[in-house]
Chains A and B, each alone.
Chain A
């Protein structure tokens, strides 16, 4: 059964799901959702995702939304296939969940706001709020300092292996480094830089970059 992913291949949350499906070698088909035309706010789409956001996933009869719940589903469903993305014990799983929460609450909103102001709004022909973007950048410096300290003791966020905790960061960091001119946040930190080089060179992520045709 081919997994249907409704969303844009270049949008962060669908990318989170696609990266996981690629890591687990799960066959999928992307159904593009035209955000500019407001397709995600139309009644037909709201049946898939009641908050009008992407992605929405259809796997046979199962309908899913919220990218971090979706990646946890596939990581558990295919736990014996490909890399183990969830940790090997209850405690390791808790640390994976911990860093997924960090990504969701201490990292993601800062990146989203910054990217919206200096990438998305200008693309739409509007002026972004540079002061707000700068504030986000300053806060991200502090967050990345904490990551730097942590990654100086641990190869990956949740321990010695790549897990969902690392995967979940890939789309947002790509935006920072490639689109927002914020690569210095990564490159100025030795361990964050090594970690980013490692996780962004995984074959699953590279395959997604090819699919996204940047």
Chain B
């Protein structure tokens, strides 16, 4: 198969790419990476991603890493397949989408990653959960979500009135977060909650979320 994603479904960054592929209705193969035995830190994996992180991606001869770059590549190459996930109708529109992709990357990702590590990842490895970190990071996340609440009171999706990668990039961490006792952080904000209900019920989201089992 031409499209290969090296990674595994449980990984949020792998899921980010799989969500994009599913939205586009593209066929792909997930090539498992034996992270438990450190395969991602050795050759041959390092020649696909020299930083030893997953996922890595192949589309024929094209090899890319970094999930947010991969999703953008797919959204661009397959612009006319399925929905336009980049807002390509104009540069201004696509730049607003790009802006909120950056917001996910720089405002949302960091506190969310820390919370999921404490609440979901650490227990798997028998590492103690640090409640102080959860408290601190939830406070940061709350402030970010206040901005989202304001934004989503003005438009249906983060990039405007259409679903785009700006929304999609948030899904992997939210799938896990909404399974934790802290999900009220989302449900207590009416517009954020409505937005999550919408994007989480998309068929592509449901399909990928089902494979995200801890």
Report A's interface with B, CB cutoff 8 A. Answer: 50-51, 62, 64-66, 68-69, 72-73, 76-77, 90-91, 93-95, 97-98, 100-102, 104-106, 143, 146, 149-150
Interface membership of chain B positions 97-125, coded 1 if the CB is closer than 8 angstroms to chain A and 0 otherwise: 01101110111000000000000000000
How many chain B residues touch A (CB < 8 A): the figure is: 28
With a cutoff of 8 Å between Cβ atoms, the chain B residues found around residue A94 in the complex are 62, 64, 69-70, 72-73, 76
Q: Is A69 a contact of B99 with CB atoms below 8 Å?
A: yes
Kindly identify, within residues 50 to 104 of chain B, every residue whose CB is under 8 Å from any CB belonging to chain A: 50-51, 62, 64-66, 68-70, 72-73, 76-77, 91-92, 95, 98-99, 101-103
Q: Is B50 a contact of A149 with CB atoms below 8 Å?
A: yes
Q: Is B102 a contact of A69 with CB atoms below 8 Å?
A: yes
Report B's interface with A, CB cutoff 8 A. Answer: 50-51, 62, 64-66, 68-70, 72-73, 76-77, 91-92, 95, 98-99, 101-103, 105-107, 144, 147, 150-151
Q: Is A98 a contact of B62 with CB atoms below 8 Å?
A: no
Q: From DSSP, what is the main secondary structure of chain B's interface residues?
A: helix
The distance in angstroms between the C-alpha atoms of A149 and B72, with both chains bound, is 26
In the complex, given contacts A69-B101, A97-B72, what are 18 additional A-B residue pairs having Cβ atoms less than 8 angstroms apart? A50-B150, A50-B151, A51-B107, A51-B144, A66-B98, A66-B103, A69-B95, A69-B98, A69-B102, A73-B91, A94-B64, A95-B64, A97-B68, A98-B64, A98-B65, A100-B69, A105-B66, A146-B51
Q: Is A90 a contact of B150 with CB atoms below 8 Å?
A: no
Q: Is A66 a contact of B66 with CB atoms below 8 Å?
A: no
With a cutoff of 8 Å between Cβ atoms, the chain B residues found around residue A143 in the complex are 51
- 20 A-B contacts, Cβ less than 8 Å apart? A50-B147, A51-B103, A51-B107, A64-B95, A64-B99, A68-B102, A69-B95, A69-B101, A72-B95, A73-B91, A76-B91, A90-B76, A93-B76, A94-B64, A98-B65, A98-B69, A104-B105, A105-B66, A106-B51, A146-B51
